[in-house]
Amino acid sequence: GQQLNQSPQSMFIQEGEDVSMNCTSSSIFNTWLWYKQDPGEGPVLLIALYKAGELTSNGRLTAQFGITRKDSFLNISASIPSDVGIYFCAGRMTTDSWGKLQFGAGTQVVVTP
């Protein structure tokens, strides 16, 4: 089963609004990743974080690696219609192999004009 708690499960927002979602875990992670998945496609990497406290931006996206190493958040500013999709957090536990990522259950974002 999945070890990451991702919230909210879904968000209905108006175009131009900011979006915020987060992931928490009871285990320590050494990597946090944020992905977006469109229907019928595989996830696409948005942001990668490697150090506790790290804050990284990619255009209108900003993500942070929590200082406890057990959480991360993703913000999307000034949302646009193409931001619609499912966003997943993923992390690599310190006790797992490099190739093994744990994924959250996803946050579905719906943007209305």
Partner 1 sequence: GAGVSQSPRYKVAKRGQDVALRCDPISGHVSLFWYQQALGQGPEFLTYFQNEAQLDKSGLPSDRFFAERPEGSVSTLKIQRTQKEDSAVYLCASSLAEADPLPNEKLFFGSGTQLSVL
102 binds partner 1 (CB under 8 A): yes
6 binds partner 1 (CB under 8 A): yes
Contact (Cβ atoms closer than 8 angstroms) between residue 79 and residue 111: yes
Q: What is the dihedral of CA 77, 71, 92, 55, to 10 degrees?
A: 50
Which is nearest to 66 in space by CA: 1, 2, 4? 4
Least separation in angstroms between CB 48 and partner 1: 6
101 binds partner 1 (CB under 8 A): yes
- Indicate which single residue of 22, 25, 31, 64 sits in contact with partner 1 (rule: CB under 8 A): 31
The span from the CA of 73 to the CA of 89, in Å, is 8
Which 32-51 positions form the footprint of partner 1 (CB under 8 A)?
A: 40-45, 48, 50
104 binds partner 1 (CB under 8 A): yes
Number of residues that bind partner 1 (CB under 8 A): 25
Which is nearest to 86 in space by CA: 32, 24, 10? 10
72 binds partner 1 (CB under 8 A): no
